[in-house]
A and B are shown apart, each in its own frame.
Chain A
Amino acid sequence: MSLEEESLLARARQGDLEAFERLAAAYERKVYNLAYRLTGNHDDASDVAQEALIKVYTSLGDFRGDASFSTWLYRVVSNACLDELRRRKRQRATSLDEPMATDDGGLPRQLADQGDGPEEALDRKELQTMVQRAISALDDEHRVVIVLRDIQGYSYQEIADYLGLSLGTVKSRLSRARTALQKKFSELELFGPNFVRRVQGR
């Protein structure tokens, strides 16, 4: 942590909002991406990411310096995102049958309907959406570990710290999440030698 960041943190802890916002700016994008991958759409992601950052702000007094600030922040953010997802799920319990919200509106659920097969029918953006949809269909507990690991690149130990889980639990949830995704990808016929290349748009 740079001296500037430390001094911002000191001021933020004394209630200086501007200092906090400057501090948070460095983490905003990462927090937003986590929220987006967990919720699967921009509206919810904005809300959840903001909730999480507010939680960081109101909990600054709990930061004890026994972990680095970024570790502490991601711990608060991961948990705030999970809490928010659970809260939303309870609220939505009545409207479970509504189609999943995506940014692109009514994407077909089955690629088979495309006739031409996935190679021709889907452009890069659609493929990215399909992958996101598969992630969104996982349980919260599996989704969060796979997003933290395979999209955000944290180590097992970091994930265990953030979520308050044992290493063994991280390991087994990740294994189950990957197996589940593998199944979904092959059901959707997303697998194939060119798939990764096409998702990347190369």
Chain B
Amino acid sequence: MLCDRAEELLSAFLDEELPSHESLSLERHLRACPACTVRLGELREVQAILASLEEVVPPQGFSASLHERLIAAAPARVASIVPLAPRRAARWSAGRWFAAAAAAAVMTASAGSYYLQTARTLPVPPQLVAVDDTPGGMNSTGPIGPVNPGSTAPQPGDKVQPTPGTSDGLSSGGKAQSGTTQPGAQPAAGQSDAADGLQPPAPTPRDSVGIATQPGTTGSGQRPTAVASPASSQEQSPLMVYQAEYQVQTANLDEGLSRLVTLSQDLNGTFLSVGNSRLDNGTPISIYVIGVPYSRYQEARSGILAIGPTLTVSESGPRDVTAEANALRRDMDSLLSQEKQLRTQLAAATSDGESSQISVRLSEVLQQITDKQARLEQLHDQARLATFRVTLVQQ
């Protein structure tokens, strides 16, 4: 390695943010080059000086003056939370409900998009669909009947029942899907702090998974916590996933919200996300996603149904994902033994060319381990929390 190249890498090296092969060759260069070693020390001192800067406190009156300015800014906000332009009077149907939910999902959680993906192939029980073609909305047909908890479980092979207005709704759903879905985004992803309290902490990362075991040669820095147990490539207990989407009519959105919050608290669950919007006819709606331990999903289900007249938009599960998880564990085991071999070869490498070749393969293997591990964690997150997406509709 030449000094020019080494200098470019020194800063990231300090933060342990270099890929392992670059880190290794830089270390080799540093052992031979006093000038670059001095440079490294200088950069370290810059870091220390910056770290020694004291925290400053906002001046007196900061909050008060912020308050004034927020009040002045508030009207702009009211406009920004009502993104749906008023159109013709709503036609009510499962499809319309779905369209509203889909439109609202644009401004809420990625969790929403996940449901939109699954809802396409899930049955909408026909008896739950209220259709009202008269302008003026749902009130003229009376409330949508409460769901019978036993009647909504999806049957294998079921298809969406075509209902008037459904195609309209599904196409909106499709648009929202392509516009807002992030590949791999799942209800529980990014919410791990909320979910952490629900089960014992996952085991600490395995040494063999992280490059970080060699000081100064860390790879990507933040590695997901391993859920794989070193002793076994089998799940200890079946992993079951349950997800559902409901629409609930409520006389008062705030009251509906507080019932949902209480419900998730009572069931030792968590509140995952929230958003609000309006239907085409101006009816305010709020969309909440709550998660409860899988073992209590039936209680959550009955609790939600008790809030008010309810429509099931989609329901997925209980679904057993144990086999997929076990397959991931087997893959990881094999990747981990490849990693071990490569590390042995790396230690025995006799030339720069050979070791950088091995380093490249090692990073590839580590990347695959990280990917598999992330998917496994995702399954664990889903299995840990049965999630309910609940759209509260002002009655």
Question: Which residues of chain A have a CB within 8 Å of any CB of chain B?
Answer: 1, 3, 6-7, 9-10, 13-15, 17, 20-21, 24-25, 28-29, 32-33, 36-37, 42, 45-46, 49-50, 53-54, 57-62, 64-68, 128, 131-132, 135, 146, 149-151, 155-157, 167, 171-172, 174-175, 178-179, 181-182, 185-186, 190-191, 195-196, 199-200
Contact = CB atoms under 8 A, between A and B. Distances in A.
Interface in B236-272: 257, 261, 265, 270-272
Which of B50, B81, B83, B270 has the largest number of chain A CB atoms within 10 A?
Answer: B50
Interface in B41-97: 42-43, 45-59, 62-63, 65-67, 69-71, 73-74, 76-78, 80-81, 83
B53 A131 contact: yes
Given A58-B77, A196-B45, A29 B274 contact: no
Contacts of B205: none
Range of interface residues on B (Cβ < 8 Å):
35 or more
Interface of B: 7-8, 10-12, 15, 17, 42-43, 45-59, 62-63, 65-67, 69-71, 73-74, 76-78, 80-81, 83, 107-111, 180, 182, 185, 189-191, 193-194, 220-222, 257, 261, 265, 270-276, 286, 288-289
Contacts of A58: 73, 76-77, 80
Contact of A65 (B76, B109, B220): B109
Contacts of B194: 1, 6
Which of B73, B180, B222, B276 has the largest number of chain A CB atoms within 10 A?
Answer: B73
A33 B275 contact: no
A178 B17 contact: no
A150 B276 contact: no
A105 B249 CA distance: 62
A135 B73 CA distance: 32
Contact of B12 (A15, A171, A196): A171
A36 B56 contact: yes
A65 B107 contact: no
6 contacts: A20-B70, A53-B70, A64-B108, A155-B222, A156-B12, A175-B8
Nearest to B181: A66
Given A65-B109, A65-B110, A131 B62 contact: no
Given A14-B286, A65-B289, A146-B50, A46 B11 contact: no
A156 B42 contact: no
A37 B50 CA distance: 11
B81 A15 contact: yes
Given A3-B270, A15-B81, A66-B190, A181 B59 contact: no
Closest CB pairs A-B (n = 8): A65-B109, A65-B273, A66-B110, A175-B11, A150-B50, A10-B274, A32-B58, A6-B271
